[in-house]
Amino acid sequence: MNLYFACSITGGRQDEAAYRAIVEALSADGHTIPTAHLSQSDIMALEEQIEPKEVFTRDTTWINECQALIAEVSTPSHGVGYEVAYALSLGKPVLCCHREGRRVSKMLTGNTHPHLRVRAYHTLDEVASIARAFLADVSNITPKA
């Protein structure tokens, strides 16, 4: 499956271990993740070389082409919020996962969109399991063309 992974870049990288756990687990399962590089420690240096308009065009194209979006939302991010809303507007299934105990925007936790799931996790193994369970359920959601 072609997946878009979203996470905080400029808002903070304290959840990088979770980003890697998700990307590594889903890549090992054979999924294509064009945003896998976002889980890497050197992402700030890589993204600084790309103009904002190019990032916007690249990322919205990837969202258009993906079958689902998985976002780690423990660290607030304007970009991730935009990506989540954009994917939902296209009818894509979206998982927002966060560390248990983190304050997450009520725009996510209170959202009743039928294609959105918001889940808390305690461990890196658990976040990978949540992502896998979400993808197993995605086949029941048909995105708009």
**Cβ–Cβ under 8 Å, residues 135 and 26:** yes
Look at residue 12 in the predicted model and tell me its pLDDT.
Answer: 67
Look at residue 145 in the predicted model and tell me its pLDDT.
Answer: 45
Residue 84 CA: distances (Å) to CA of 42, 59, 118, 119: 24, 12, 11, 14
Strands 94-99 and 3-6, by their bridges, are unpaired
CA angle, residues 31, 35, 39, in degrees to nearest 5: 100
Per the structure block, which two tokens stand in for 90?
A: 């296209």
Look at residue 29 in the predicted model and tell me its pLDDT.
Answer: 95
pLDDT tens track, the chain, 145 positions: 999 999 987 766 678 899 999 999 999 999 999 988 777 666 666 667 789 899 999 999 999 999 999 999 999 999 999 999 999 999 999 999 999 999 999 999 999 999 999 999 999 999 999 999 999 998 765 555 4
Say how far apart CA 121 and CA 132 lie, in whole Å.
Answer: 13
Look at residue 141 in the predicted model and tell me its pLDDT.
Answer: 54
Structural domains of the chain sorted by starting position, each given as residue range(s) with its CATH number in brackets:
3-138 (3.40.50.450)
